[in-house]
Structure 1
C-alpha cells in the first residue's frame, strides 16, 4: 500500500478545546497506559499541553481531524516532540510524516540546534521509531528530566544552523 498524498491537509495551532482532539488525546493516554508501565508513560495530558512552553498542532482534512503533534521548548536551543498521534482510520497514510515535517520546520525557525523525543521500546512503538529514523533521528541518552528506562527509546535530530 502506498502513502496517501494529502492535497487538502491543513496543520494549525490548536487550543485543545474541540471534542475531536479531546477524544484523540484521551485515546492516546489510554493506549500509552495499556502498552507501558505507569512509570514509563510520559505522554502529556491536556493541562500540560496547554503550558506556555508547549505549542500544539492538529492536522485536518476538511472537517476531519487526522492527527496531532506538539513541540515543547526545553531550552532556547533544544526542543522536544510530544503527543504525536494519528487518528486510527488515517494511520499509514502520511499524516504523522506531515506533522513531523511541520514540527521540524518550526524547530528550525525557532533556531533550535537539536530536536529530541522519547518513545516506547515495545513493539507497539516500532512504526513510530521507524518514522523518526526516516527523518534522521538517532538514538541518544536521556535528556531533560528523563532517566534511563528499559521501556523508553530516546532519539535526537541535530538541526544545522540556517
Structure 2
C-alpha cells in the first residue's frame, strides 16, 4: 500500500469522498455533519493523503492544522472493498508520524456518537485517543464525540 499526498482530482478519491459525505448525511442531522466537501479539503491548512494499491484507492485521511502545535484529523475513510484489511490503522499511524514530524503536541478529531461510528471510535481508542470536550470551533452536540491524543516527541 502506498500513501501519498493527493490533489483531490482522481475519480477514485472523489467517489470515496462522495460516499463518505453521503454516509455522514444519512446517519447524522445536517447541523451535526462536520465532514468537509472536496473544495473545503483543498484549503491551505489541510493536507490530504490517499492510500492506493495498484492504482486502486483503498482509503484517505487529512490533517487540518488548527495551531502550530495542534492538528485535527478529517475525512478518515476506508473504501468498502478494503475494510478489515488494516488500511485505517496504516493511515492513522502515517498521520501520527506526520503530526510528530510537524511538531504537533496534540492531534484531535470529531466523530459521531451513533452506532454507525462505533468501529471508528474503537480504532481511535486502540491508538490511545481519549475522549475530550469540544475543541477549536466545535460546540457540545449529542451527535458528536470528541477525541484527542498527545503526540510523543
- Report how many residues are paired: 153
Q: Which residue of 1 aligns with 2:142?
A: 150
For the aligned residue pairs, the C-alpha RMSD in angstroms reads 0.5
Q: Where do 5+ consecutive residues of structure 1 fail to align?
A: 1-8
- After TM superposition, the structure 1 = structure 2 runs for residues 23-102 of structure 1, keeping only pairs within 5 Å, are 23-102=15-94
Q: 2:102 is matched with which residue?
A: 110
TM-score (norm 2): 0.99
Q: TM-score scaled by structure 1?
A: 0.93
Q: Which runs of 4+ in 1 moved over 6 A?
A: none
Within the alignment, does 1:125 sit opposite 2:117 as a pair? yes
Q: Distance in 2 between matches of 1:105 and 1:147?
A: 28
Matched residue of 2:17: which SS?
helix
Deviation at 1:92, TM superposition (A): 1.0
Local SS of the residue matching 1:47: helix
